[in-house]
Chains A and B, each alone.
Chain A
Amino acid sequence: MSASKKAHVTTTINGESTDFLCEPRHSLLEVLRDNLGLTGSKEGCNNGNCGACTVLLNGRPVDSCLVLGVEVEGAEIETVEGIACSSNLHPVQQCFLEGAALQCGICTPGFLVASKALLDKDPNASEETIRFDLSGNLCRCTGYDKIVRAVQAAGQQMSAEA
């Protein structure tokens, strides 16, 4: 039971079955970025405050820096890399771009994953719900207003398409 013994983990990431080896102490964020080259998920704080590392774990948003790699055996994971459909951006990505809802961009992947999850649940979510549900995502640059407006615009597009 030595701490450095690597575990073999099988999981599904963005719809594709994926295997990796990881030490018990490695976070899912480290696995995604360092082992699998999925560098879309960002490390902001590495302690569960900023949400830059948000991914979906079995359909629910989690901070991947607070999940151990060994915990995701058999789980379904969606990362920011899985949001666009081939070369077509998802409405939430398009609206972030068009609405200039980012500056430095480090928070953006986390916001995109959480925003899409929230709009999938309710594309007509109120501004209050959007702000409440995105309170686990911090942005040091934009002041949030443009982010909230981009999410609202994406929601309108999604409900028009539905």
Chain B
Amino acid sequence: MAPQSVSEVVAVLSEHGDRAKLLAGGTDIIVQLREGLREADMVVDIKKIDAVTSFKYCDENGLSLGAAVACYNLYEHPQLSKLYGALADSTHIIGGWQIQSRASVGGNLCNASPAADSIPALIALNATAVIAGPSGERSVAVEDFCTGPGRNVLENGEFLVSLQIPAQGGNCGSAYERFIPRNEMDIAVVGAGSWVKLADDGTIAEAKIGLGAVAATPLVAEAAAASLIGKEPTEENFAAAGELAKQIATPISDMRGTDEYRMHLVGVLVKRTLTTAVERAQSS
């Protein structure tokens, strides 16, 4: 079924609970249902609802990104891809071209994979999840949205409507990078997203760093970001932030890499994404 409004979706979800599954881009849910990983009595296509499929930017409120907006809209958009570099970086490497035509950032968040590419980028950009439910709307910071692998804060009857991402001034920049053993089409061994705002004198005024695939949920590296405030954007300071970021990582060892290797990558990727974020801030 394909309801036309947010309240209709809430009503269906309230009535059917877990037996109703939402369909946005379909790149995960269709496979999960087909392979019996999830079961449903009904699939609810939410792509007839404007608030879910549209996006809009304004200098005051930033970007309002409907939960079902497909990845390509972000990296192909001349203005948004510049303003939200970390989001453009991550959406361009989620799956291949065919997946990016359909898969959405909102879906990537709701799946709550610890290795999801867009989540560290959203965290770095200070994004908020706008959730509709039986008792109205509520907002949750993206870093608090995932509660475990594949689990999130959504309660019965609730769904993610959109993401709000703060406006980017002229002196802001962000970047996302992941490490994978192949060149493309793979799951992150580690992912890092960094955002910086530069002061007029070129020092770092504000910073935020998100990490993926190093814990049960994506993380915020608070101490690492705090260490940069008021500092010059130098390689040494970025490396020091990378060392601090390692302290909150509790990675596992699996077929993609050992915990030790993942630790090392945290340092490398934090440093690299900070470097790119600052370059982008300087040229914006």
A interface, CB within 8 angstroms of B: 1, 3, 24-25, 27, 46-49, 51, 54, 57, 60-63, 65-68, 70-71, 114, 118, 131-137
Contacts and interface: CB of A to CB of B under 8 A. Distances in A.
Interface in B200-246: none
B261 interface: no
Contacts of B72: 60
A51 B43 contact: no
Chain B interface, >50% SS class: loop
B273 to A, nearest CB: 20
B43 A48 contact: no
B185 interface: yes
A48 B101 contact: no
A51 B98 contact: yes
Interface of B: 1-2, 23, 25-27, 30-31, 33-35, 41-43, 45, 47, 72, 95-99, 101-102, 183-185
A70 B23 CA distance: 12
B98 A24 contact: no
Nearest to A71: B45
B26 A71 contact: yes
Chain A interface, >50% SS class: mixed
A32 to B, nearest CB: 15
28 contacts: A3-B41, A25-B43, A46-B34, A47-B34, A48-B98, A48-B99, A51-B98, A61-B101, A62-B98, A63-B99, A63-B102, A65-B30, A66-B25, A66-B26, A66-B99, A66-B102, A67-B102, A68-B30, A70-B2, A70-B45, A71-B45, A71-B47, A114-B97, A114-B98, A131-B183, A132-B184, A135-B97, A136-B98
B31 A48 contact: yes
B180 to A, nearest CB: 11
Contacts of A71: 23, 26, 45, 47
Contacts of B183: 131-132, 135
Q: Top 9 A-B pairs ranked by shortest CB distance?
A: A136-B96, A135-B184, A60-B101, A136-B98, A63-B98, A47-B31, A135-B96, A62-B101, A135-B185
A67 B101 CA distance: 11
A91 B34 CA distance: 37
A135 B23 CA distance: 25
A125 to B, nearest CB: 12
Contacts of A24: 42-43
A66 B29 CA distance: 9
Contacts of A132: 183-184
Given A57-B101, A132-B184, A66 B27 contact: yes
Contact of A61 (B2, B30, B43, B97): B97
A65 B26 CA distance: 10
Contact of A136 (B30, B33, B41, B97): B97
Nearest to A46: B34
Nearest to B16: A1
Nearest to A63: B98
A151 B183 CA distance: 20
Nearest to B45: A71
A89 to B, nearest CB: 23
Nearest to A53: B98
